[in-house]
A and B are shown apart, each in its own frame.
Chain A
Amino acid sequence: MSNLLYILFRRLRSPLIVLIVVYAISVLGFVLIPGVDDQGNPWRMSFFHAFYFVSFMATTIGFGEIPYEFTDAQRFWALITMYATVVGWLYGIGVLLSVFQDSVFLNQMKTNSFSRRIKNIREPFYIICGYGDTGAQLARSLSREGILSVIIDLNAERMSDLEADDFLVPPLSLCADGSQSEILEMAGVIHPWCQGIVTIANDDTVNLTVAVVAQLLNPKLRLIARAETPEAEANILSFGANEVINPFETFASRLSLALQSPSLYCLYDWTTCAFGAKMNEPPIPASGKWIICGFGRFGSALYDHLDDSDVKLSIIESDRTRRDLPSGSIIGRPTEAPTLKKAGIEEAAGIIAGTDNDANNLSILLTASELKPDIFRIARQNEDKNSHLFQAAEFEMLMQRGSIVANTIFALIRTPMLGDFLRIVSRFKSDKAGEVVSRIIGVVEDDVPKLWEFKVTPEDAPALYETVQTRQVTVREIFQGETLHGSNHREKPLSAMPLFMKRDESNVLLPEDDRIIRAGDRFLMCGTQAAHRQMSNILSNINLLENILSGEEIPTGVFWRWLTGKTLLAKTTSETDITNSLE
């Protein structure tokens, strides 16, 4: 606020001085010029009368010649001051209006309102630095999930796009340089409700600066950063970032997974997909030779991933000056049929259009399908705005860089344990991953699977927390829906399964059924939407939980408990156990 007033007064300084001087001279003139009263005696205006007259004259109210009719000398002076004061006012108002239209002033107003709104946030929120294709998709996903986001980007054009976009939870945005510490501080890096910061600018140095500043200001903050080079990635990871995402690497490794281990690809794709996508059948590209068009950052990352597998590769690159191409690469335009023929399209199983130009990618694949209609086509889509074109072309597989990165980050925000889970799963052989996939499909059946997390704490799962203090509860009892007492009250087991568990420092993948749950355990769950709802009820309602564990209905009120002789907890633990635990 003080900045606004400062700018305002700075600009208004000269008009104010002009007004004061004009008024002072006018008033003084009226006091000095002799006049006559109604009897014709000589009379002089006092300062009081002069100020009164000038005030209503200057504001063009004009009550007339007060208190006595003016002499000609007074009228002469009134004529001069009339114009002088009006000009003074016009000047002042003109400057005032121009200040309000000034871009510096408007920016300051926007900044002030932004920082005020941030201060008033009373819900968890995430900061996103960089609003490109990836940022836009991430912001959309977050808002659909009901999570508030704060967006910073230096590009004014993108920020006005953001204002025009329709969001369920409108994000707060500021057009500013996120690598400045004041801006980050204003955006709420040290705000008690800030959950984390995601920095996905196109420039590695910007991401690095944001990461350093955020880490210094608030070391406890969750930090997810984007890095294009391995050096930047290592650099950001070195000072405690939670996750670093290399878009080319992520993209290439996902694509190579699709070729090498379809079920692992399926697991990745599904756990990180944004909303309500069914678990798709793993795409099965035919085995054989693959053609990669374009050997840029993406192409070379893809080559590195696929090279050590038994897939035969053929590279087409249009840049003649490249020296680091693998041997056997073909130099030429991949959009032309002769080049594709030279690369051996007749015996190829699939083709990957991986250049950084969407029009070229489309052209490559259309030419390829003309040459060989049954070829497996994988398209790389660079820009969000070309979605319609790529969808209309109906390629066998479509990789959108922005959405893969955005969805991965979104999944990490929604379920932070996912990062560790996927890291462990990625070391699996294909058949073991297939087992996980088929178990998930077995649990959720035809429904849309959902991931969620919970922790055995008084806040997150009060009923379970209370129960595990006094008796042993196994994973099977809670999640499998079977009771030890045989009298199964539930119609059918919950359509949910634990994927991953964390206890202190140890990680447990697919916790076995007879594992005993302890306070402080964290679970990554997967199941149907309905199972998620049921489960949160069970975890927070002690009566429901008792009912499931013991198979009997326990009355809620103390009176009914006394009447029926049933108490909580007493069903499965002996008297001595209870006294022990109380001590």
Chain B
Amino acid sequence: MNSEKVVFAFFIVLALTLNFGFFLGGMDNAAHHNIYELYAAIVISLISTVLKVGDRTHLGAVFLATSLVADLQLIAAAIVWGMTEHISAEALGGTSLGTVVSLSGGALLANIISVILLVSETISVRR
């Protein structure tokens, strides 16, 4: 068992699950989307990006790309959330919440691709 592989897979899967947890729920229901979950998803996504950086293989490059996409989408979602709460007077809901959730949905897709790559890599290694 390779501990580096465990840590790597752990973060990639955790990024997906957290992202999925946040995404799950009604598009316009603020009660279904927890801000702490979004925060955790962003932090884990950033860590998994750093873990993927510096791999010279072709697969490593695709890993990095999907991870960067997820980061970008999640950070955009966080910015929309923060802007609505602090700058515009209205409360989070309706259009702004829809934007946040759909952005995190995009990140979810990127994270799914990451996990598919991870699984296919694991399968291709025969022991």
Q: Of residues 1 to 53 in A, which have CB atoms within 8 Å of B's CB atoms? A: 2, 6, 9-10, 13, 16-17, 20-21, 24, 27-28, 31, 46-48
Tell me the minimal C-beta distance from A444 to chain B in angstroms.
Answer: 61
Q: Is the CB of A6 within 8 A of B54?
A: yes
Say if the beta carbon of B86 comes within 8 Å of chain A. Answer: yes
Q: Of residues 58 to 115 in B, which have CB atoms within 8 Å of A's CB atoms? A: 78, 82, 85-86
Q: List 17 A-B contacts (CB under 8 A).
A: A2-B56, A13-B51, A13-B53, A13-B54, A17-B50, A17-B51, A20-B43, A20-B46, A20-B50, A21-B47, A24-B43, A28-B36, A28-B39, A31-B39, A47-B39, A48-B82, A48-B85
Residues of A that sit less than 8 Å from B by CB: 2, 6, 9-10, 13, 16-17, 20-21, 24, 27-28, 31, 46-48
Complexed CA–CA distance, A503 and B78 (Å): 79
Tell me the minimal C-beta distance from B74 to chain A in angstroms.
Answer: 13
Which residues of chain A are near B85, meaning CB under 8 Å? 46, 48
Q: Are A47 and B78 also in contact (CB < 8 A) when A17-B47, A20-B46, A21-B47 are?
A: yes
Q: Are A48 and B86 also in contact (CB < 8 A) when A20-B43, A21-B47 are?
A: yes
Tell me the minimal C-beta distance from A213 to chain B in angstroms.
Answer: 25
The CB with the most chain A CB atoms within 10 A, among B36, B51, B54, is that of: B54
Say if the beta carbon of B35 comes within 8 Å of chain A. Answer: yes
Which residues of chain B are near A31, meaning CB under 8 Å? 36, 39
Which residues of chain A are near B43, meaning CB under 8 Å? 20-21, 24
Chain B residues touching A, majority SS: helix
Tell me the minimal C-beta distance from A470 to chain B in angstroms.
Answer: 63
Tell me the minimal C-beta distance from A3 to chain B in angstroms.
Answer: 8
Q: Are A13 and B39 also in contact (CB < 8 A) when A6-B56, A46-B85, A48-B82 are?
A: no
Smallest CB gap from A5: residue in B: B54
A-B residue pairs, 6 tightest by C-beta:
A9-B54, A10-B54, A24-B43, A48-B82, A9-B53, A16-B50
Q: Is the CB of A47 within 8 A of B35?
A: yes
Tell me the minimal C-beta distance from A34 to chain B in angstroms.
Answer: 15
Residues of B that sit less than 8 Å from A by CB: 35-36, 39, 43, 46-47, 50-51, 53-54, 56, 78, 82, 85-86
Complexed CA–CA distance, A9 and B53 (Å): 6
Which residues of chain A are near B50, meaning CB under 8 Å? 13, 16-17, 20
Q: Are A46 and B53 also in contact (CB < 8 A) when A20-B46, A21-B47, A24-B43 are?
A: no
Which residues of chain A are near B86, meaning CB under 8 Å? 46, 48
Which residues of chain B are near A28, meaning CB under 8 Å? 36, 39
Smallest CB gap from B7: residue in A: A17
Which residues of chain B are near A48, meaning CB under 8 Å? 82, 85-86
Smallest CB gap from A32: residue in B: B36
Tell me the minimal C-beta distance from B1 to chain A in angstroms.
Answer: 21
Complexed CA–CA distance, A21 and B11 (Å): 13
Which residues of chain B are near A17, meaning CB under 8 Å? 47, 50-51
Which residues of chain A are near B46, meaning CB under 8 Å? 20
Which residues of chain B are near A27, meaning CB under 8 Å? 39
Which residues of chain B are near A2, meaning CB under 8 Å? 56
Tell me the minimal C-beta distance from A503 to chain B in angstroms.
Answer: 55
Partner of B47, one of A9, A20, A46: A20
Complexed CA–CA distance, A16 and B53 (Å): 11
Which residues of chain B are near A46, meaning CB under 8 Å? 82, 85-86
Complexed CA–CA distance, A46 and B86 (Å): 9
Which residues of chain A are near B53, meaning CB under 8 Å? 9, 13
Complexed CA–CA distance, A48 and B85 (Å): 9
Complexed CA–CA distance, A433 and B85 (Å): 99
Complexed CA–CA distance, A6 and B56 (Å): 7
Which residues of chain B are near A20, meaning CB under 8 Å? 43, 46-47, 50
Which residues of chain B are near A10, meaning CB under 8 Å? 54
Q: Is the CB of B82 within 8 A of A47?
A: yes
Tell me the minimal C-beta distance from B51 to chain A in angstroms.
Answer: 7
Tell me the minimal C-beta distance from B101 to chain A in angstroms.
Answer: 17
Tell me the minimal C-beta distance from B7 to chain A in angstroms.
Answer: 10
Smallest CB gap from A8: residue in B: B54
Complexed CA–CA distance, A233 and B86 (Å): 82
Complexed CA–CA distance, A47 and B36 (Å): 9
4 extra interchain contacts, Cβ-Cβ under 8 A, other than A46-B82, A47-B35? A13-B51, A13-B54, A21-B43, A31-B36
Tell me the minimal C-beta distance from A446 to chain B in angstroms.
Answer: 66
Complexed CA–CA distance, A409 and B43 (Å): 64
Which residues of chain B are near A16, meaning CB under 8 Å? 50
Smallest CB gap from B82: residue in A: A48
Complexed CA–CA distance, A543 and B78 (Å): 80
Complexed CA–CA distance, A9 and B47 (Å): 13
Complexed CA–CA distance, A16 and B71 (Å): 15
Complexed CA–CA distance, A9 and B35 (Å): 31
Which residues of chain B are near A21, meaning CB under 8 Å? 43, 47
Tell me the minimal C-beta distance from B62 to chain A in angstroms.
Answer: 15
Which residues of chain A are near B54, meaning CB under 8 Å? 6, 9-10, 13
Which residues of chain A are near B36, meaning CB under 8 Å? 28, 31
Tell me the minimal C-beta distance from B60 to chain A in angstroms.
Answer: 10
Tell me the minimal C-beta distance from B94 to chain A in angstroms.
Answer: 20
Tell me the minimal C-beta distance from A30 to chain B in angstroms.
Answer: 12
Complexed CA–CA distance, A17 and B11 (Å): 12
Which residues of chain A are near B39, meaning CB under 8 Å? 24, 27-28, 31, 47
Smallest CB gap from B39: residue in A: A47
Tell me the minimal C-beta distance from B80 to chain A in angstroms.
Answer: 12
Smallest CB gap from B78: residue in A: A47
The CB with the most chain B CB atoms within 10 A, among A2, A24, A27, is that of: A24
Which residues of chain A are near B51, meaning CB under 8 Å? 13, 17
Smallest CB gap from B83: residue in A: A48
Smallest CB gap from A25: residue in B: B43
Smallest CB gap from A49: residue in B: B86
Tell me the minimal C-beta distance from B86 to chain A in angstroms.
Answer: 5
Complexed CA–CA distance, A347 and B15 (Å): 96
Smallest CB gap from B44: residue in A: A24
Smallest CB gap from A11: residue in B: B54
Complexed CA–CA distance, A259 and B51 (Å): 74
Tell me the minimal C-beta distance from B113 to chain A in angstroms.
Answer: 21
Smallest CB gap from B56: residue in A: A6
Tell me the minimal C-beta distance from A194 to chain B in angstroms.
Answer: 29
Tell me the minimal C-beta distance from B32 to chain A in angstroms.
Answer: 18
Which residues of chain A are near B82, meaning CB under 8 Å? 46-48
Complexed CA–CA distance, A367 and B47 (Å): 79
Complexed CA–CA distance, A16 and B51 (Å): 9
The CB with the most chain B CB atoms within 10 A, among A31, A46, A48, is that of: A48
